[in-house]
Structure 1
Amino acid sequence: MAALAKFRPVDSGQHDKDELREIVRERSFRFGRYTLSSGVESDIYFNMKPTMMVARGAQLAALEFLKIAEQVKAEYVGGLEMGAVPVIGSM
């Protein structure tokens, strides 16, 4: 936890959560007919990359991630590089 201690986010309150939710809704969540990379069809498509590729979306997501990491007393976080780079870069 010591490594995360220097990154303590300020509790930005409900406004930032609402703003992040709106960015995700607009950029990352879709209803329609989609063929997934597995070949399976879906009526719902969710991809956080469009949210993470705009500065404000990345900033808000990183702040929320830091809050959760602190709450669960995470010492380390990991993930696939392609998905994690925008998150870690925003921190």
Structure 2
Amino acid sequence: MSAAALKSLLLEKSVRTGTFTLASGKESDLYIDCRVTALDPFGANLIGELGWAAVRERIAAEGLKIDAIGGMTLGADPISLAVGMTSAKQHPDEALQVFTVRKEPKGHGRGKQIEGNFKEGSTVIVVDDVITTGGSTIKAIDVIEREGGKVAFALVLVDRQEGGREAIEARGIPVLPLFTRKTLLDEA
């Protein structure tokens, strides 16, 4: 039921068809702005429930110990927080800490590029809202690894199925999408 409700909300709030220029510079017939759904309280709750269920299943299947969840700001932030909050509510002993990756290091203070609950040596899940080429996810992975973290896998709300998953997996990072273009749009 939660998957159907989240799909319906994504289609209503986040999916647009037409002609669009994406962040990658590519033109597409599909635009997906997951932030509108992820920042909706009902959407955030659904993302937390479905995301945590998928993550917990992956952790159990592979015997992983995960410390934290996060990704490139802004798209990953509400998703990471929703999954982290659900993990704390449902399984406090397995609760995931949450962090965010800045696009550039902060220009003052300690000059950090990762904010929140991340520390060197952490094993983490990297998050993205939508992957097309995988570029922003890979940038987040690079920052996490440079700061001494290990990425176990990537959690993605929507995989547009345009090569991003393959690019991330070529780095040795498995991708766990909640939806693909095909499943979201019921394409054959």
Fold shared, TM-score > 0.5 on shorter chain: yes
Who is 2:16 aligned against? 30
Q: Distance in 2 between matches of 1:21 and 1:40?
A: 25
Superposed CA deviations along residues 19-76 of structure 1, whole A, max 9, x for unmatched, are 1110011111111111223433211111211111110001101111100110011514
- 1:83/1:39 CA distance change after superposition, 3 Å: closer
The structure with the greater share of residues assigned to strand is: 2
Residue 59 of structure 2 is aligned to residue 67 of structure 1: no
**1:1-91 → structure 2 map (5 Å cutoff):** 15-73=1-59, 75=66, 76-90=68-82, 91=85
Partner of 1:39, secondary structure, is: coil
Unaligned 5+ runs, structure 1: 1-14
Partner of 2:25, secondary structure, is: coil
Q: Distance in 1 between matches of 2:21 and 2:74?
A: 21
| Number of aligned residue pairs | 77
The structure having more radius of gyration, on CA atoms, is: 2
Q: Distance in 1 between matches of 2:55 and 2:23?
A: 30
Amino-acid identity (%):
30
1:89 maps to a residue whose letter is: L
Who is 1:3 aligned against? none
Q: How far is 1:17 from its partner?
A: 1.4
Who is 2:129 aligned against? none
Q: Distance in 2 between matches of 1:17 and 1:77?
A: 21
Unaligned 5+ runs, structure 2: 86-188
TM-score, normalisation: structure 1: 0.72
Q: How far is 1:83 from its partner?
A: 2.1
Q: Distance in 1 between matches of 2:40 and 2:25?
A: 29
